[in-house]
Amino acid sequence: MSIRIRVLGSEPAWPSASRACTGFLVESESTRLLLDCGTGVFAELRSVMRPEDLDSVMLTHLHFDHFVDLIPFRYYLAYEAQPPVPKLPLHLPPGASEGLRRVVEPVDPNPEFFSGTFGVAEYDPAGELAIGDLRLVFHKTLHSTPTFAVRISSVEKDGTALVFSADTGWLPSLVDFIRGADLFICEATWGAGEGNLETHLSGREAGRLAGLAGVPRLALSHVAEHRAPDAARAAEQEFDGLVEHARAGKIFRV
d(CA 140, CA 173): 10
Is residue 83 packed enough to be buried (19+ CB in 10 Å), middle (13-18) or exposed (0-12)? Answer: exposed
**Count of beta carbons in the 10 Å neighbourhood of residue 100:** 22
pLDDT, tens only, 24-56: 999 999 999 999 999 999 999 999 999 999 999
pLDDT, tens only, 135-186: 999 999 999 999 999 999 998 766 789 999 999 999 999 999 999 999 999 9
**Dihedral angle sign, alpha carbons of residues 231, 235, 236, 241:** negative
In the predicted model, is pLDDT for residue 90 greater than 80? yes
Which amino acid is residue 154, in one-letter code?
S
Assign 3-class secondary structure to the chain. CCCEEEEEECECCCCCCCCCECEEEEECCCCEEEECCCCCHHHHHHCCCCHHHCCEEECCCCCHHHHCCHHHHHHHHHHCCCCCCCCEEEEECCCHHHHHHHHHCCCCCCCCCCCCCEEEEECCCCCEEEECCEEEEEEECCCCCCCEEEEEEECCCCCCEEEECCCCCCCCCHHHHHCCCCEEEEECCCCCCCCCCCCCCCHHHHHHHHHHHCCCEEEEECCCHHHHHHHHHHHHCCCCCEEEECCCCCEEEC
d(CA 132, CA 95): 24
Write down all domains in the chain, each with its CATH number in brackets.
4-253 (3.60.15.10)
Q: What is the pTM of this model?
A: 0.97
Please give the distance of CA 74 from its chain centroid, rounded to a whole number: 19
The predicted pLDDT at position 84 comes to 77
